[in-house]
Structure 1
């Protein structure tokens, strides 16, 4: 953003507040790194959107490849000419400093998949393809970065969780539900903007197009999905906490691991309240006050690379 846009809009977007409400209990340097990464993610999302709207496939392809490269060698991209790439590299370097290399490799694997999912969304939107409901749900788990936000629970707890813990059915289901809630609630709140912009990537739009629902019915369906996430989470949360208790086997490692799992599950719960608050406080979704309901007033084409 230009300086005047930053002064006018940055605080009201509440990007860092969203993370502060989710990763409660994290060491300050971890929370700061995650908050900065989150702010970067929203800016990246806006750049992606502008490249689609203004039909800039070459610019998007260049950015996509640079992000893949920065993810694998962030130190080499800290002073990249594109501030978006340099900012990403800075975030990755900091996030990679908290846990062992095995966690870093997993984070990188998950984010490479996110970049490629954004590329699939780019093609769908440019070509006007509305994915089926099933296709959209699978793709949304990647474009919303479900497993990235779940991975980031671990540096907050100070422990890299072993596979047997991360892949435990109750733990994994609780994590998925917290992220599905967020993604679908985001779709619900973004629907007016995305309809105004004639977009194709929204669960509500897929429901209207492929399930032949009216817009009102699609909104009702979205609300039901959101409510079901909450109800199911409340059940599986107890199972995940019982699993955490079972890890405390009398050893120091068992005690630490059980406490880490409880901290992660607690922050999965926090995701619900933080996401709900964010969507009603952030200027990113206040479309009724924008001159153009399809375009946030803080987005400029020049900032997105159009000169």
Structure 2
């Protein structure tokens, strides 16, 4: 890992307590199995490593977004909605509608409406449009996977790279980074090829890192949408060979991050970008290294990934009761 750690936000314990209090206040009372899984997931650790200098208010808000996202992820990965395309479609339609301002019904929708209300004030229309686009793209990846499962299809590694860029859900948190960084990029800056490449590299690194650390857990579930599994299948490798190849690809992605940083500076000069926009882009380039390292360190520390043998799976223990019927 070529990027230095910026450490952990000192507000981590307060954020952990705030996340569980928020879940209880939103009627997201987890079963003993689901609660154990969330404790081992440690969303407060990921947020605190990703945003080591964020204010307590922002840290709490971002952690609650992540807590909610992990609940969604576990429902679609482990529950019936991830295996029934019609149920999956209806659930996502409702969540997107609530994100767009529709009245919520189930507990998960009420929690989403509250997060939306706390996130959108003082953000520009262009930022809200970007955040919505990235969040909706993430949600619809679950539908794509549900349809592929039902059809007995598995993507190639090349196809999966593009899919994983949305399904890992890093893009919305790159948007949230702008809040704590105090910036709001104009469309021209978001359209710079090197900025797009930088975001994609950061996201690709997170997706592959997650797949390497999740492979054993997901193999127990028969989950095929994992880069290590696809590398193994596409190239006829042993498991260890596939893991080694994935590790080599992870190092290559880190180099893509550094290359995109250099190209971004060149494009800033070529476009004649100065003032606050230049400062905002430079802040992104600086902070994104820390995001990559924070995500990497999280996967090495959270029991969700370090001790997959402890995963308890019971599809009857679904989170479906949190979603509107």
Which TM bucket (shorter chain)? 0.7 to 0.9
Q: 1:256-295 residue pairs with structure 2 within 5 A?
A: 256-290=276-310, 292=312, 295=313
Partner of 1:84: 108
TM-score, scaled relative to structure 1: 0.83
Q: 1:3 to 1:288 in 2, by over 3 A?
A: closer
For the structure 1 residues 183 and 21, does the alpha-carbon distance in structure 2 shift closer, same or farther, using more than 3 Å as the test? same
**Residue number in structure 2 paired with 1:71:** 99
2:49 corresponds to 1:29: no
The partner residue of 1:110 within 122, 130, 134 is: 134
* In 2, Cα distance between equivalents of 1:190 and 1:222: 12
List alignment gaps of at least 5 residues for structure 2.
1-28
**Structure 1 residue 232 corresponds to structure 2 residue 245:** no
The yes-or-no answer on 1:303 pairing with 2:323 is no
Range with greater deviation from structure 2 (184-193 or 117-126): 117-126
Q: Mean alpha-carbon deviation: is it higher for 97-106 or for 36-45? A: 97-106
What is the CA deviation profile of residues 74-109 of structure 1, one whole-angstrom value per residue up to 9, with x for unaligned ones? 5x22xx3x2112112222222212411221122212
Match among 176, 179, 193 for residue 155 of structure 1: 179
2:241 corresponds in structure 1 to 217
Rate the CA distance shift 1:83–1:238 in 2: closer, same or farther, 3 A. Answer: same
Aligned residue number for residue 40 of structure 1: 68
Cα separation, 1, equivalents of 2:146 and 2:82: 12
Deviation at 1:192, TM superposition (A): 0.7
SS of the aligned residue for 1:130 comes to coil
The equivalent of 2:227 in structure 1 is 203
Whole-angstrom distance in 2 between the partners of 1:120 and 1:9:
25
Pair 114,27 (structure 1): closer, same or farther in 2 beyond 3 Å: same
Q: Residue 112 of structure 1 aligns to a residue in which SS?
A: helix
Pairwise CA RMSD: 2.9
Instruction: Provide the rounded CA distance (Å) in 2 between the counterparts of 1:263 and 1:180.
Output: 20
Report the CA distance between 1:69 and its aligned residue: 0.6
Contact 1:247 1:255 in 2 (8 A): no
Instruction: Indicate the structure whose relative CO is greater, using CA pairs within 8 Å and at least 6 residues apart.
Output: 2
